[in-house]
Every structure is written in structure tokens, then in C-alpha cells.
Amino acid sequence: MKLLTIHSCLRASLGFLFACTVVLCSRSSLADEAPPNIVVLLCDDLGYGDLGSFGHPHIKTPNLDKLAARGIRLTACYAASAVCSSSRAGLLTGRNPNRDGIYDWLPGGIPVYLSTRIPNIASTLSAAGYQTALVGKWHLNGLFNDSRQPQPGAYGFDHWMATQNNASPSHQKPNNFVRNGQAVGKLEGYSCQEVASEAIGWLDGIDRDRPFFMHICFHEPHEPVASPKALTDSYRDVAKNEKQAEYFANVTNMDDAVGRIVESLRKRRLLNNTLIFFTSDNGPETLNRYKGAARSYGTTGDLRAMKLHVYEGGIRVPGIIHWPAKIRTPREDNTPVSAVDLLPTLQALSGITLDAEHSIDGTSLLDWIDGAPLDRKTPLYWFYYRALSPPRFAIRSGRWKLVASWNGPLMLEARGGPGGRNINPEAIKIFKQATLSGFELYDMSLDQAEKHDVSHEHPETLDRLKKKAIVLFTRLQSEGPDWPETADYWAGRK
């Protein structure tokens, strides 16, 4: 099977050289001080309402609640996408993932991957002298641990222990982790605890005179869910059934793993100057959407829709920033922020800027963390061509959110055809020829549940955001790669 073109091979082998094209720049007042350690904690399919500090009536998350109480609780935090791989790409690159061809989640074997030519958090911080590690779910290439595609080390990670996609056969005793190119074999614990142990063990070997970046990507609470019996038993009196109790326990088990990581930082006297960013890759899975989703009891609170939608429930996620050295007064903040803001924030902290060729969509949060208003040049925006509801595109600008459908097929119409399949040339062609239509406007300051389309009441705002949306959508169409290599992949699966 022809998996990669010659151009793709060159792109993979030379990519990291491009990713390291960085230029030292003048440092901000914060960056003049000792550079902070960075820990990103990313959950998988965790809903906006799944933490105690975000309103869940039963799930106990004391460690994350403590971080929220002592830091900034982000009540308008957004993922980079409504779907897994895309969201992870956007977090690392600070760019809308469709610009780089990560249009959807990446099944194992597909000849699609995040280009190493695009600078990312790990490559940027590595160039600034940081020690870097990835632990957990990777999901940014189809050919995992395969020389035909770049692996996590090619993106700037000094150390990695990861899986291509989900923990298998479940969160309990996973057997599909790979550490720095070598299969780990069957593990005896639960995925989140094994991930925490690996991260803590890595900390033991770091150079204490240099800062570090840990990208910790939990599999929880994505299916296939498996949770410790004792935790599951603790929820039997409040859960509807055994499967819901397992889900509740799954989130709590992840919280316990977070607690272990935070405590390890505290014991090493590293916590004070460590910036911790906690979030989720997208909204929660819909219960029983597919055969294996019987334990998917995540909640969006009062937000509309779930994962795979560009309504709020698919893209608004829990967010926490904890940084004792800089956040002296904890606060709750409803400023719209996103995972795509992480890279520019860390660039500002590290005193490094990128070549102008690689424009990003995010905005540095550095001054905003200190209490200044957030000055966003590019509005937050999302596109997902296989969204389950008619809207495919969304844009958030201040208090306003615009969603738009397109003239391409709806998901139900597309099933069985190229528009309903994962990344493939025919679907990309549909996307690149599509136009936006069916605009809806919501005032998020009054209606975060998106119940009332106010486009008729605010025609000037509607017109302004429509123009912005069309410009941004057109850029996605022009920049996104066509991935002709995927034709052979799908031909072999008919």
C-alpha cells in the first residue's frame, strides 16, 4: 500500500529543522525572572460540568477543585476543536488544526500526521532550554511508532511514553504504551495512575537548574472506561446504575492522579514557580452514540450539545490555571480563552518568537494572567466538517458567538459516503468547495445555553461576524492540505 508520497517523506524527515526556526526576542518583565516550569494536564472527553468546582453534584474532584480555588477558574475556556486529534494539534501549535490538515481524529494506520514543520510548544520550549516530556495519549499520527511518520520525539519531546489513541484494552492494565520507541508491555495499574507514575519518575531525573515542560494527556474519561472497584462502589448510592458509577469513579481516579503529580511538585519545591494548565480536549461523549459508549455519562451542565458539535457543549471545557508565583489573588474569570492561547503565552514566557511564516491564531495570556484585559486580534473560531448537527463553523468574538452551516452534506446524509468518513480526498474536496450558510447569532453574556438566535435583533453584529467568518473559513480552505495519500488507505477498507 502506498502510504506516503516522496514529498511527505521529505516533509517528515526535514520537518523538525523547520520547527526549530526560532529567533530570540526581547523578554517581557515576567520572562526576565526565573522561567517557570510548565505542566499541561489534558483530559479526554471530560465535560464542562464534570468537576466538583464546575458544578457536578456528585463527582468528587478535590485536587482539581483545590487548584481552581487557588488559581484562575476559567468559566469560558475552549478546546481548539470539537474532536480529539484536531484539538490536540491546536493546543500544541496555537493554530486552528484545519490549517494543518488535522481535520478529524486519526485512526490507526491512516497516513496523516501533524507536520513537524509547524512549530509547537515542545519544539519552542526545547529551543529555549526546557526539558520536555510527553506522557499519555498522543493521537497526532496514524502510523504510531513507525519510521514512516514522525514520532513524538521529532516534535521536541526529550522523553515520551504514549499511546496512539485510547488505552487498550481499557484504562485497566493497558498494554499499548510505547516509551521512546520501545513497547512497554502490559501495565498493572489504571492508565491515569500509570501516566502519573511515569511523569513523577521523569521528574526524578531532570536537571534542577533547567526548567521543564510536561505534557500529560490522560485517557480518562474516554471510553473504554474502567475504574477501581472501591471508587465505583463509593458512587453506587448516587449513580443511576453501575455504568454511571464507573464514569463518576473514572473522573475521580483521574483527579487522584492529578493530586499525586501536584504533590510530587510540592515535595520537590517546584510547585511555586510551575504554571499548571488543566483542560479537556473537547466536550463529553454522547451516551450510547456507538456500541462502546455505554459508560459515557459526562455532562456539559446547561450547555447545548456534546462532543462533535460546534455548539458550546462540544467545545467549551473546564479550564484551570494554577501558578502560585504569579497568581496571588485567585479568581473566577469568564473571559473567552482557548487551548490555542497556550503556545503564544509560553512563547512570551520563554522569550522566543517564531518565524513570521508560521502565523498563529491564539493570543498570549501573560498580561491577562496579571489582571490586564485580554487584547485578542484574531477571534476564536472552529470548524469541524463531520459535526453531528448542521453547524460546521463557529466564531466567538467578545460576548457574541456566530455559528454557521454549509452547503455540503449533513452528517446523516453523508454516512456511507466520503463526506461521512474520516479524512479522505473526496471529503476534503467537499470542504474546499463549500460555502457557509444558515448563520445563527447568540449573545453569550445572556444565553450561554444558545437557546435564542438573536440574528434578527442585531443585524449589524451578524453582518460583521459573517464577514469575519467567511475570511477565516476561506483561509482554512486555502491552507489545509489535500492528503491524497489517504485514497489508498480507504481503498483497502472497502
The CA distance from 118 to 359, in Å, is 10
Q: Is residue 54 part of a domain?
A: yes
Q: Is residue 209 part of a domain?
A: yes
> Both 38 and 141 in a single domain?
yes
Q: What is the CATH number of the domain that holds 140?
A: 3.40.720.10
User: What beta strand segments (E) does 284-443 contain?
Assistant: 316-322, 331-333, 337-338, 352-354, 380-383, 393-397, 400-406, 436-443
- C-alpha cell of 201? 519518575
Least confident of 10-14, 68-72, 343-347, 456-460: 10-14
Whether the Cβ atoms of residue 177 and residue 162 lie closer than 8 Å to each other: yes
The neighbour count for residue 459, using CB atoms within 10 Å, is: 10
The span from the first CA to the last CA of the chain, in angstroms, equals 14
In tens, the pLDDT along 236-269 reads 999 999 999 999 999 999 999 999 999 999 999 9
Q: Is residue 282 part of a domain?
A: yes
> Both 142 and 187 in a single domain?
yes
Q: Is residue 375 part of a domain?
A: no
User: Which of 369, 402, 421 is at the close of a domain?
Assistant: 369
Q: What is the CATH number of the domain that holds 430?
A: 3.30.1120
Q: Which residues of 434-446 are buried (b: 16+ CB within 10 A; e: fewer)?
A: bebeebbbbbbee
Res 352: pLDDT: 81
Q: pLDDT band for 10, please (50, 70, 90 cuts).
A: very low
Tally the domains of the chain: 2
> Both 98 and 172 in a single domain?
yes
Q: How many residues does the chain have?
A: 494
> Both 171 and 320 in a single domain?
yes
> Both 43 and 132 in a single domain?
yes
Q: Is residue 390 part of a domain?
A: yes
* Residue linked to cell 454511571: 244
> Both 295 and 410 in a single domain?
no
* Residue linked to cell 476543536: 81
Distances (CA, A) of 325 to 32, 37, 71, 432: 14, 11, 10, 46
Res 2: pLDDT: 34
In tens, the pLDDT along 109-147 reads 999 999 999 999 999 999 999 999 999 999 999 999 999
Q: Is residue 361 part of a domain?
A: yes
Closest CA relative to residue 124, chosen from 148, 94, 145? 94
Res 411: pLDDT: 67
- C-alpha cell of 54? 464546575
> Both 144 and 64 in a single domain?
yes
Overall average pLDDT of the 98-119 stretch: 97
In the predicted structure, residue 16 carries a pLDDT above the cut 80: no
In the predicted structure, residue 235 carries a pLDDT above the cut 60: yes
User: Which of 369, 389, 420 is at the close of a domain?
Assistant: 369
Q: Is residue 1 part of a domain?
A: no
The CA distance from 222 to 286, in Å, is 11
In tens, the pLDDT along 361-406 reads 999 999 999 999 999 999 999 999 999 999 999 999 999 999 999 9
> Both 385 and 361 in a single domain?
no
> Both 303 and 441 in a single domain?
no
> Both 189 and 322 in a single domain?
yes
Least confident of 325-329, 349-353, 461-465: 349-353
Domain hosting 210: range is 6-369
In tens, the pLDDT along 403-412 reads 999 998 876 5
Percent of the chain with pLDDT over 90: 87
Res 358: pLDDT: 76
Q: Is residue 190 part of a domain?
A: yes
User: Which of 369, 390, 405 is at the close of a domain?
Assistant: 369
In tens, the pLDDT along 158-190 reads 999 999 999 999 999 999 999 999 999 999 999
CB hemisphere CA count around 262 (13 angstroms): 22
> Both 39 and 146 in a single domain?
yes
> Both 396 and 334 in a single domain?
no
Res 409: pLDDT: 83
Q: pLDDT band for 7, please (50, 70, 90 cuts).
A: very low
Phi, psi of 434 (to 5 degrees): -80, 160
In the predicted structure, residue 6 carries a pLDDT above the cut 50: no
